[in-house]
Structure 1
């Protein structure tokens, strides 16, 4: 008996069936994608508007992500990431305001952007804090403006929870920095701000911290990691650059300090009058002008604080910043671009005309000091 021949149509039939299955799956995916796309489009165009309004408060310093979360929690939108993307596509992030708004649930994204771009009428106080302002001076200015007491501001700034900000995780704890004078010093970013008169102390402090968090970019964190430098060290160094320069000499002063901080430096102390043993109202001295009054007098400063901030006695950086530096000082401390003749300098001195004299050796520095004094005596 001859063997039965296999059907020549078996394989084509299987391929035909597989093709239809794939087409069916593709159709399901297309329909699903279409349904999702339709849902997202209805969200953006406001097709699901309810006609009901809710009150939404946007805190000062809130970014688009925080605003989107507030809108979702209030039931105004359903998809915060989609809202963030749409705002970015429209280039509208910079126009969104803070304040209290009446918004319709399900309104179109264009309507929401328009509503949030109109400054909410509110009683506000506008204050400017120059670069290099200390935490205590900031608190005093807030009190003078009638927004809160200086004590309330400093207590919240030093003891409140601000873990929503990226930089907060990089701050040393009180156990890690037992000799630090104030946790908030250095991180209250100096700028001009509009404060709601009926705001909370927490919101006031968060305004400063939000700005600082914005200034410290991923590139800065990456550079810190590459240098083996902590954020606290950077801000501490920047505060001295701010106080000793705060001008076109930022990089040169930063280079001198970094030379002193370098391994095997012959001069391992900053020796800056900005924070030293000097007890004179004529000098800008952190210990004399700010720390001593806080404790009730120079002799009342705790010994560990005095030792940790006197840059003529402590090696390396002191326990913390001595002011709140601006971005230029921070950038100079991170990556100084000094003049060639300052590259290897360990000393500098200034005269009353604002001129800076740099030196590599102590002998050169002493000669510069005499030259600066001669200029001062001639004025």
Structure 2
């Protein structure tokens, strides 16, 4: 009888042990095994979300089977790191363990808004308004206050906060570039450097020319010669938007704080948001005595020291345009 009783006890113990192994396997597999999502999912965890509310969002999206089990497993096997708010891309079949790491690591979906070099602020605002995942109204930023670049943002972030980052980036870059400036410049302040950089940005799209264009304008400033930069007299008309037609003679000669055909010195403010390279060019212009430049038909410009040389370059440019049927 004793031996039979021990045998039954042993068999019961073996069954219990096997049941425990199966349970542990089920728990571990449930935590670290493939999740139920059959496709990539997007889950938005709101600010101030707790583990419980985040689990609810995950269950609702289909990333996990049970919010309750997720919380239980997270407390048993996870770390105590807090989860972070944001929009997350949850790959298909991602385990619950990896989902928790994803939320704790804050690896949210990054969207980008791009402000190209030379974009005026009125059009930069258009770009921000068109970014539908941003929210909130935003006024047209001060011209020249945005550093052209690509900026990451999360869904639901305010447009004003993105503008603030763009402006902080410009403030930092301009200050750093000014501290590295070459001696003997024609501009006396960072603000003047920004204004001239905006003109350089608009006058050439050829990176290799920026320092030369900056040198021409610096030479004109030193000699008290009007800058005669076409984009400056157009700016008050459109605030930086394309004119869409040939300018009128009356517009070329209109009196304004921006028309560098009718005034000596720099315009009242920037005419666009210049990029790093144009700022650097103004603060380290080429060594040159050139006072003039005109398009050369290749996308670049022909530079000249004298009016006679410049007039010859202009005649060549007109001949090219005639040959193309543009005049």
TM range (shorter): 0.5 to 0.7
CA deviation after TM superposition for structure 1 residue 315, in Å: 1.1
Q: Give, in whole Å, the separation in 2 of the partners of 1:270 and 1:229.
A: 17
Give the structure 1 partner of residue 296 of structure 2. Answer: 351
* Ranges in structure 1 where 5+ consecutive residues have no aligned partner: 1-53, 57-98, 102-113, 158-183, 277-284, 300-304
- Alignment length, in residue pairs? 219
Q: Give, in whole Å, the separation in 1 of the partners of 2:290 and 2:159.
A: 44
CA deviation after TM superposition for structure 1 residue 359, in Å: 1.3
CA contact (8 A) 2:120 2:241 kept: no
Q: Give, in whole Å, the separation in 2 of the partners of 1:355 and 1:219.
A: 26
Q: Give, in whole Å, the separation in 2 of the partners of 1:189 and 1:131.
A: 8
Q: Secondary structure at the match of 1:332?
A: helix
CA contact (8 A) 1:241 1:254 kept: yes
Q: Give, in whole Å, the separation in 1 of the partners of 2:238 and 2:114.
A: 21
Give the structure 2 partner of residue 328 of structure 1. Answer: 277
Does residue 121 (structure 1) correspond to residue 108 (structure 2)? The answer is yes
Equivalent residue in structure 2 for 1:195, among 140, 153, 164: 153
Q: What does 1:1-379 correspond to in 2, within 5 Å?
A: 100=85, 118-121=105-108, 125-146=111-132, 147-148=134-135, 152-154=137-139, 157=141, 184-218=142-176, 220-221=178-179, 223=181, 227=185, 229-246=188-205, 247-262=207-222, 265=223, 268-276=225-233, 285-290=234-239, 307-338=256-287, 343-379=288-324
Q: Tell me the TM-score normalised to structure 2 length.
A: 0.58
Question: Per-residue displacement from partner, 1:143-177 (whole Å, max 9, x unpaired)?
Answer: 1223357xx4225x3xxxxxxxxxxxxxxxxxxxx
* Ranges in structure 2 where 5+ consecutive residues have no aligned partner: 1-46, 50-83, 87-100, 249-253
* Residue 226 to residue 248, structure 1, CA distance change in 2 (3 Å): closer
CA deviation after TM superposition for structure 1 residue 238, in Å: 0.4
Question: Per-residue displacement from partner, 1:70-119 (whole Å, max 9, x unpaired)?
Answer: xxxxxxxxxxxxxxxxxxxxxxxxxxxxx748xxxxxxxxxxxx999944
Measured on the aligned residues, the alpha-carbon RMSD in Å equals 3.4
CA contact (8 A) 1:347 1:365 kept: yes
Q: Give, in whole Å, the separation in 1 of the partners of 2:111 and 2:255.
A: 37
Question: Per-residue displacement from partner, 1:166-197 (whole Å, max 9, x unpaired)?
Answer: xxxxxxxxxxxxxxxxxx21121111112233
CA deviation after TM superposition for structure 1 residue 369, in Å: 0.6
Q: Give, in whole Å, the separation in 2 of the partners of 1:219 and 1:271.
A: 26
Q: Give, in whole Å, the separation in 2 of the partners of 1:223 and 1:135.
A: 26
Give the structure 2 partner of residue 38 of structure 1. Answer: none
CA contact (8 A) 2:182 2:284 kept: no
CA contact (8 A) 1:308 1:318 kept: yes
CA contact (8 A) 2:232 2:271 kept: yes
* Structure having the higher Rg: 2
Q: Give, in whole Å, the separation in 2 of the partners of 1:312 and 1:206.
A: 34
Q: Secondary structure at the match of 2:157?
A: coil
Q: Give, in whole Å, the separation in 2 of the partners of 1:256 and 1:308.
A: 21
